[in-house]
Every structure is written in C-alpha cells, then in structure tokens.
C-alpha cells in the first residue's frame, strides 16, 4: 500500500482536512501543512486510530439505538434555553457536545453514560407526515436532461419583394452589418439596413451564403390564378371583336370634328356635359361591324396608360391637316404611336380647303418614315373632310381591313377583363369608372377587382348614357360602386368571390406602400454604364427639344452619328420649344433621356421629372451635349487589353535548394523585370510556360525590380523545369481606353 494524501484520508474518516492536519501536528508530524501532503501507511494508520471510538462507546451507541422511549437530561443538568428533549421515534436527535445524556433502562440495571464526541454532531429536520407511497427515493431518481435539438440550416427560402437588408438578414440568420459590408466591398453597392435590394443582388447573396432564394411575387401569382380559373381559350368560343382606334394629331387639325362626323354627334360644338364626353370612347357600327374610337384628352393620357402597361389601342389614326402639314405635335403624336408599336393610318383632314396640299404632307411624313402605299411603303393614307363627310366611309373600311389583318378575337363567355380609361367621384353615383372591356362580358352584379380597389357593378351605362344589363368585348361602359377611385390605365377583372377581391386589393395597397421607396430607376447619363453592364440597355433613347428647327436637325444628326455597333443613339422625339409634361411622360414610358438646347423646363414638367426620376439635361452649346453623350458612351466601352514587354532575362545558372526548389541565377539583358510582372519561359524560341514570379532577389535581399545590366535570382511560381540558357521574358497587360470611331 502506497502513500495517501491528507485530503483522501479526511474524506475516508469523514472529517475536515484542517482537523486532520491538527492531529498530525499533535503526533509530531509537523511537515504536514497542506491537504495535498502525503502520509506513509504507518503514519496514516496512526491517525486512523485517533478517530476510532472505544469499545464501550460502540456498545453504548448500539444500546442507545434500541431505546424507543424519549431521552431526557437529568433534572439537575436541565437548562431553560437548551433544546434537550430528544424524541428518537420521530427522528429528532439534538446533542450538545459537553452534555451528559442518561439512558434509562429497566430498574434493576444501573444507568450508563454515553459521551458523544463533538465531531459526530448532526442536525436533521423533522420530516413531514407524508404517506410512504408518495415519498421520493432520491437515491434512485435519475433526472434526464434533454439537449435542445439543433436546427438544421435551411438550404432554400422563399421571399416576397420588396426585400430589404433587414429582411434578408432575418431570413439568412446573418447580421445586417455583415451583409452591408459584403455589398460594399464585394459588389460596390452602398446600402442601409432598410435599403431595398434588387432581385439579382438578393439571389447573388443567396448563392454566396449557400442558400437558394426563391423570389415569389404573391400578387402576380394570385392574379394569374384567378384569371386562369375563368379564362377559356377554346377556339370555338372565340368571336370577332371590334378594333379599338385612337385619334392623335396636332391641335386644331380636326380630330374631334372628324370623330363627330364618324359617330354623327356634335361634341366639338358643345364641349360641356354628356356621358359620351366623360367616357372618352365611342362605338360606331358599319355594315354590321363595329369600330371603337378612343377620344383621349391629349397625348399625356395616351402615354400614361401605355406607361402602366395598358396597351389597349389596336390602331392609331394620325390626323394631319392637309393645308397645315406636319407640325410639332404631329411629330410628337407619331413618336407616341411608334413607341406603342401599333399600326398607323394617316387621315389627311381638311382636304376640302383650297390651300390643301396632300402631296406636300405625304413628303413630310415620308421623311418621318411614314411612306404611303402608292410610294412603295406600308402606311395607308386616307383623304378626309369633316365638313363634306368625304373619306369617312373609306376611313372606316380601312380600319375594318386593318382589324381583319390583326385577327382581333375575344371570348364573350369569359368573365370581363379590360382597362380603366378614367374615373371620378360622382355626387349621386359615388365612384364611377369609365372602362373598356377587352375580353369577356360584364353583367350587372358582377364583382369587379380594379387595381387597388374593388366593388360590385351595380349600374352599367353605355357610351350614350343608356343603362345596360350586359356588355361584351370591345365595349366602352361606365361602372358604378367601387370602394376607391381607380387610376387611368388600371386593369380590371371580374372575380367570383368578393372576399378574394378584397384580399387582393388590400395586398396591392400594401405592396404599393412598401415599394414607394423603390421606384423604378430610369436611365441617366450617370447610371448608363451600370445599365449597359447589366445588359439592360443596348441603345440610348433621347428626347430632343431645341429653340429653333435648324438647331434640332443639327443636334439630332450629331447625336445619331455617335452610334456604334455596340451601342446606338435613338432619337424618340424631337421638337421646337420648352420641355413639357408630355416630354417627361414620354421619357418615363420609354426610359429615355431628355436633352434641351437653349430651352427651359416648365415648372410642372420639372416637378414631374423629379417624381418620375427622368433625367433632363440642358445645354447652350451643341458640342457640350454631344461630348457628354460621347463621354458616357466611351465610358461604357470595354477597354482593350494591350500586352507590353518589360524586358528579357537570361538564366545562367540553376541552383537546387531543397526548401525552395530550383532557383535561377540570372542576368537582365534588356529592359527590366519586376516582382509583380507576368513571365514567359522561352526555350529554343518556344514558350514552354507562362505564369508569375514567386520571388525576385539580389543576393539575399527581396527587390521590387531589377534593371538591365544587373544580376538577380528568381523563382518561377509553380514551375521547376528551368535550365541554363532559358530566357525569362517579363511583360504586363495594360488596359487601354477605347474611343468612339466615326
């Protein structure tokens, strides 16, 4: 048996280590001062003997354990403040170290005295009276601690736009500061915690963090679902529908008068009141077929609807006065029609006037890429007169022929779908929306979802103010009872459940509030490079306004000549005069830049441009405009990579070093070699390796470069097959800016 520590011996004897150390000192073992000290077996046994009770004490303790009667102290030794009543039956044992307890026995036997050592004093609480069956066995009880389940990292998440840095941080479980830093350092995107991110950036971050992010647009999915449930595409259900025609042209060229002649009304004589004027759409019958005419209040409404994606027009009639010719608003109207990508029919109006010159007008329009059919073009020209009714029938026949070519069809059995032309709040009827049905049939009582509003079609009136129970495709009607006033250009649908209509409308309102800070960013000269890099722009669209016609032509030609095979400059519209709201609306719808030369911007147009994010640039020198556009385009051109040879180095000796591999002792013959330059290893005029340097030294010192006439040592990175006589050619690739070539 080996040595035993004081701490282990104390534990064995059931006493404290300090008491054991004191007993060791009493026995002369003064070297024992710490509980980690050890005793030899003989010394340990000596200490054990000190704590063993005598034989009498053992016998007395056994007899005391058999006593069932209460044990009390002798009357002469009883003290008032001492707790001396001991009830062994109930488990109480209160013993004072210096007190003598007499154990009563049977009368013939003498009393025995038990003296309890101080170290054996124990205190126990009185146990509560608990049924034995309910007592808990603490020695047998095992408490099982379950560890919380570790949540597995998600590999795919679904998010709805708009997505902010905060939303992405919550979904990915990554701190927002880390995402913001990553965007700035790796993607050159400055953002805040509430910044709305593009879908491309969100998906790219998901790939980098190892999570597939699916962007789900809830509103579009809901709209697609309820449309798919109702729309029938069976060929046998499709029927002919009337073409929708819009009249555009310059002021006072006879658009309204021509419409009056067609629909046999006199709106031009009285521009006040009447449901027909408010609806702005009219249906005309000819030979059993119908044509619907839109009377838009200027080009702004036409462009606003197209900007909202409501391309409801099938054919555009460009009205040009034969005696006046092409005017600024005529060109503007033509550009609107081209941007909408719809067929154009030219109506040469006022042909009855003596000063009419249709040939001159055709030549002017031919210069604007509207070439008549008789000249080998594709544009139909019709000579009309609102006064003599000349050409009205021919114009209608042309429109019907155009509709047959387009093969316009719809299904009247489907629930109605269409577009809001305009809406207003009526004092007697509440919210009234003037709509044009494009497909299906609208009936009284139908539940209508329209943009961010919904309602029930309680009252339907046609273009002449007559109440109707049902309206089919290509029919303009007025519908009452919406929850809110819809916007022009909003699409409307008939749905079967008003609860579904309410949910979708509320969801759209919520999305509009969330995306109010994430408006569409139009192209500007400053953002042109990033747009091209993303592949979103292949041409620069420009709206040009100048003070004189000559300035317009010169600037237009100068800008168009900047076009290259990689990027084009396209003039959408050019005219004389200041920049108006119409110009801003056209730029907003077409994502164009507005350039003004020696003109100003109207206050309303400037406010609208700020709201829409349209870029307006004003110049007083033509070359400033062309140079700025040219600089923006040159900044977008990919720079050319040009290889420049820095120098040649001859390997004169190869040293084999186990730690570094083959080290070349060299002599710089021409030029220089730098530490960061690329190198080619040439042997017998053949390039055998192309790579980088791992080390460049002169003697034992690292250097950045070594020039001709000096010796150096170098190591070629990841290549050891070098030989004496090899040539190391140092070179670098330089990026050279490209310039536009005329």
Whether residue 349 is annotated as binding a ligand: the answer is yes
CA 269 to chain centre: 53
pLDDT band for position 399 (50/70/90)? confident
Residue whose token pair is 């979708």: 504
Do 420 and 451 contact (CB within 8 A), yes or no?
Answer: yes
39 and 110, same domain (yes or no): no
Q: Does position 75 have pLDDT exceeding 80, yes or no?
A: no
Whether residue 336 is annotated as binding a ligand: the answer is no
Instruction: Detail the DSSP E strand segments found in 207-355.
Output: 212-215, 239-240, 244-249, 281-286, 289-294, 315-321, 344-349
- State how far the Cα of 241 lies from the Cα of 290, in Å rounded to an integer: 8
pLDDT in tens, 516-543: 544 445 556 655 555 555 555 567 889 9
Do 711 and 663 contact (CB within 8 A), yes or no?
Answer: no
Whether residue 296 is annotated as binding a ligand: the answer is yes
- What per-residue confidence (pLDDT) applies to 524? 60
- What per-residue confidence (pLDDT) applies to 71? 43
- What per-residue confidence (pLDDT) applies to 516? 55
Whether residue 290 is annotated as binding a ligand: the answer is no
Poorest-pLDDT segment among 358-367, 411-420, 479-488: 479-488
Q: Which residue has the higher pLDDT, 352 or 739?
A: 352
Whether residue 352 is annotated as binding a ligand: the answer is yes
- What per-residue confidence (pLDDT) applies to 733? 85
> Residue 595 domain-assigned?
yes
CA 320 to chain centre: 47
Q: Which residue has the higher pLDDT, 572 or 634?
A: 572
**Average pLDDT in the chain:** 76
- What per-residue confidence (pLDDT) applies to 210? 83
- State how far the Cα of 723 lies from the Cα of 652, in Å rounded to an integer: 8
User: What is the SS3 assignment for 523-555?
Assistant: CCCCCHHHHHHCCCCCEEEEEEEECCHHHHHHH
- What per-residue confidence (pLDDT) applies to 148? 46
Token pair belonging to 591: 């994502």
Q: Does position 196 have pLDDT exceeding 50, yes or no?
A: yes
Residue whose token pair is 């209508």: 448
- State how far the Cα of 697 lies from the Cα of 676, in Å rounded to an integer: 13
Instruction: Detail the DSSP E strand segments found in 587-660.
Output: 593-597, 616-619, 640-657
Whether residue 351 is annotated as binding a ligand: the answer is yes
Q: How many residues belong to the chain?
A: 742
pLDDT in tens, 439-456: 889 999 999 998 888 888
Poorest-pLDDT segment among 122-131, 317-326, 556-565: 122-131
Q: Which residue has the higher pLDDT, 116 or 379?
A: 379
250 and 399, same domain (yes or no): yes
Whether residue 252 is annotated as binding a ligand: the answer is yes
Do 579 and 600 contact (CB within 8 A), yes or no?
Answer: yes
Count the domains in the chain.
7
Token pair belonging to 536: 């979103």
What is the DSSP pairing of strand 244-249 with strand 678-683?
Answer: unpaired
Poorest-pLDDT segment among 8-22, 178-192, 208-222, 485-499: 208-222
Of the candidates 395, 394, 389, 385, the one whose C-alpha atom is nearest the C-alpha of residue 293 is 395
301 and 362, same domain (yes or no): yes
584 and 691, same domain (yes or no): no
Task: Give the structural domain span for 685.
Answer: 640-736
- State how far the Cα of 517 lies from the Cα of 195, in Å rounded to an integer: 9
Q: Does position 203 have pLDDT exceeding 90, yes or no?
A: no
> Residue 145 domain-assigned?
no
What is the DSSP pairing of strand 289-294 with strand 244-249?
Answer: parallel
Of the candidates 568, 559, 544, 566, the one whose C-alpha atom is nearest the C-alpha of residue 618 is 544
CA quadruple 473, 501, 310, 268: dihedral sign: positive
pLDDT in tens, 296-347: 554 444 555 555 545 678 888 899 999 888 887 788 788 878 877 888 999 9
- What per-residue confidence (pLDDT) applies to 711? 92
Report the percent of the chain where pLDDT is more than 90: 13
- What per-residue confidence (pLDDT) applies to 706? 93
Q: What's 310's domain CATH number?
A: 3.40.50.300
CA quadruple 593, 598, 604, 607: dihedral sign: positive
pLDDT in tens, 601-632: 998 899 999 888 888 999 888 778 888 887 77
Q: Does position 100 have pLDDT exceeding 60, yes or no?
A: no
> Residue 58 domain-assigned?
no
Token pair belonging to 619: 């110049």
Whether residue 35 is annotated as binding a ligand: the answer is no
606 and 706, same domain (yes or no): no
- What per-residue confidence (pLDDT) applies to 639? 64
Number of Cβ within 10 Å of residue 103's Cβ equals 15
Residue whose token pair is 């100048």: 546
Number of Cβ within 10 Å of residue 494's Cβ equals 22
258 and 402, same domain (yes or no): yes
pLDDT band for position 403 (50/70/90)? confident
39 and 186, same domain (yes or no): no
Q: Which of these three, 60, 94, 117, is where a domain ends?
A: 117
Token pair belonging to 445: 């009582």
392 and 290, same domain (yes or no): yes
User: What is the SS3 assignment for 325-367?
Assistant: CCCHHHHHHHHHHHHHCCCEEEEEECCCCCCCCHHHHHHHHHH
- What per-residue confidence (pLDDT) applies to 31? 79
> Residue 232 domain-assigned?
no
Helix (H) or strand (E) holding 185: helix 176-187
CA–CA distance from 471 to each of 396, 435, 466, 492 (Å)? 23, 11, 12, 14
Q: Does position 265 have pLDDT exceeding 70, yes or no?
A: no
Q: Does position 726 have pLDDT exceeding 90, yes or no?
A: yes
- What per-residue confidence (pLDDT) applies to 505? 85
Angle in degrees, CA 138, 142, 148, rounded to 5: 140
Instruction: DSSP letter for 47, please.
Output: H
Alpha helices by DSSP H, listed for 353-431, are 358-367, 392-406
Do 646 and 730 contact (CB within 8 A), yes or no?
Answer: yes
Burial (CB count <10 Å: 0-12, 13-18, 19+), residue 261: buried
> Residue 236 domain-assigned?
no
288 and 306, same domain (yes or no): yes
pLDDT in tens, 656-666: 888 888 899 99
> Residue 357 domain-assigned?
yes
Do 262 and 245 contact (CB within 8 A), yes or no?
Answer: no
Whether residue 298 is annotated as binding a ligand: the answer is yes
Q: Which of these three, 379, 407, 435, is where a domain ends?
A: 407
628 and 645, same domain (yes or no): no
> Residue 138 domain-assigned?
no
Whether residue 249 is annotated as binding a ligand: the answer is yes
- What per-residue confidence (pLDDT) applies to 72? 44
Residue whose token pair is 């449930």: 229
279 and 346, same domain (yes or no): yes
pLDDT in tens, 17-74: 888 888 888 887 877 887 778 888 888 888 888 877 655 555 455 555 454 444 444 4
Whether residue 392 is annotated as binding a ligand: the answer is no
Of the candidates 463, 424, 432, the one whose C-alpha atom is nearest the C-alpha of residue 276 is 463
Do 456 and 447 contact (CB within 8 A), yes or no?
Answer: yes
- State how far the Cα of 344 lies from the Cα of 370, in Å rounded to an integer: 9
> What's the pTM?
0.47
609 and 654, same domain (yes or no): no
Q: What's 623's domain CATH number?
A: 3.40.50.10050
Do 400 and 430 contact (CB within 8 A), yes or no?
Answer: no
> Residue 126 domain-assigned?
no
């Amino acid at each position: 048996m080996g040595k035993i520590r004081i701490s282990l011996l104390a534990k064995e004897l059931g006493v404290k280590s300090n008491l054991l150390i004191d007993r060791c000192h009493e026995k002369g073992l003064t070297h024992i001062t710490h509980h980690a000290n050890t005793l030899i077996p003989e010394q340990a046994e000596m200490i054990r003997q000190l704590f063993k009770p005598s034989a009498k004490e053992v016998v007395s303790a056994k007899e005391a354990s058999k006593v069932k009667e209460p044990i009390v102290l002798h009357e002469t030794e009883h003290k008032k403040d001492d707790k001396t009543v001991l009830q062994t039956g109930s488990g109480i044992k209160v013993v004072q170290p210096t007190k003598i307890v007499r154990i009563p026995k049977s009368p013939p036997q003498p009393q025995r005295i038990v003296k309890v050592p101080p170290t054996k004093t124990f205190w126990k609480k009185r146990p509560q009276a608990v049924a034995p069956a309910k007592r808990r066995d603490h020695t047998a009880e095992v408490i099982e601690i379950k560890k919380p389940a570790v949540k597995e990292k998600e590999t795919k998440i679904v998010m709805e736009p708009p997505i902010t840095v905060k939303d992405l941080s919550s979904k990915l479980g990554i701190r927002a500061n880390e995402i913001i830093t990553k965007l700035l350092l790796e993607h050159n995107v400055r953002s805040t915690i509430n910044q709305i991110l593009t879908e491309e950036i969100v998906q790219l971050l998901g790939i980098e963090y190892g999570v597939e992010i699916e962007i789900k647009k809830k509103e579009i999915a809901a709209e697609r679902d309820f449309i798919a449930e109702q729309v029938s595409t069976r060929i046998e259900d499709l029927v002919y529908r009337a073409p929708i025609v819009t009249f555009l042209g310059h002021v006072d060229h006879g658009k309204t008068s021509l419409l009056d002649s067609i629909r046999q009304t006199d709106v031009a004589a009285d521009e006040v009141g009447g449901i027909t004027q408010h609806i702005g759409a009219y249906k005309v019958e000819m030979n059993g077929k119908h044509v619907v005419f839109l009377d838009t209040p200027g080009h702004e409404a036409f462009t606003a609807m197209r900007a909202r994606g409501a391309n409801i027009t099938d054919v555009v009639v460009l009205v040009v006065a034969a005696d006046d010719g092409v005017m600024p608003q005529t060109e503007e109207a033509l550009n609107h029609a081209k941007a909408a990508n719809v067929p154009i029919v030219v109506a040469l109006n006022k042909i009855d006037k003596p000063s009419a010159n249709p040939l001159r007008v055709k030549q002017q329009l031919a210069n604007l890429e509207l070439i008549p059919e008789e000249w080998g073009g594709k544009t139909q020209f019709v000579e009309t007169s609102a006064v003599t009714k000349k050409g009205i029938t021919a114009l209608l026949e042309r429109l019907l022929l155009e509709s047959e070519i387009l093969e316009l069809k719809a299904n009247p059995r489907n629930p109605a779908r269409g577009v809001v032309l305009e809406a207003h709040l009526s004092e007697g009827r509440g919210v009234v929306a003037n709509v044009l049905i494009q497909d299906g049939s609208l009936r009284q009582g139908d539940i209508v979802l329209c943009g961010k509003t919904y309602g029930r079609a309680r009252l339907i009136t046609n273009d002449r103010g007559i109440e109707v129970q049902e309206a089919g495709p290509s029919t303009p009607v007025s519908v009452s009872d919406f929850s809110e006033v819809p916007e022009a250009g909003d699409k409307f649908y008939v749905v079967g459940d008003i609860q579904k209509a309410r949910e979708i409308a509320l969801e759209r309102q919520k999305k509009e509030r969330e995306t109010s800070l994430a408006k569409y960013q139009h192209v500007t000269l400053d953002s042109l490079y990033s747009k091209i890099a993303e592949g979103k722009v292949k041409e620069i669209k420009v709206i040009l306004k100048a003070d004189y016609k000559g300035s317009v032509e010169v600037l237009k030609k100068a800008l168009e000549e900047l076009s290259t095979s990689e990027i084009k400059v396209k003039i959408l519209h050019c005219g004389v005069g200041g920049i108006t709201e119409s110009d801003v609306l056209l730029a907003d719808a077409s994502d164009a830049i507005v350039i003004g030369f020696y003109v100003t911007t109207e206050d309303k147009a400037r406010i609208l441009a700020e709201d829409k994010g349209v870029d307006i640039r004003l110049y007083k020198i033509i070359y400033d405009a062309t140079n700025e556009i040219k600089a923006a385009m040159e900044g977008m051109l990919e720079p050319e990579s040009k290889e420049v040879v820095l120098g040649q180095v001859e390997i004169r000796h190869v040293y084999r070093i186990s730690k570094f591999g083959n080290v070349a002792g060299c002599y710089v013959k021409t030029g220089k070699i730098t530490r960061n330059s690329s190198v080619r290893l040439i042997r017998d005029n053949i390039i055998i390796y192309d790579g980088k340097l791992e080390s460049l030294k002169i003697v034992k010192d690292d250097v950045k470069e070594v020039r001709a006439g000096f010796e150096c040592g170098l190591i070629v990175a990841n290549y050891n097959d070098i030989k004496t006589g090899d040539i190391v050619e140092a070179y670098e690739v330089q990026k050279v800016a490209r310039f536009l070539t005329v």
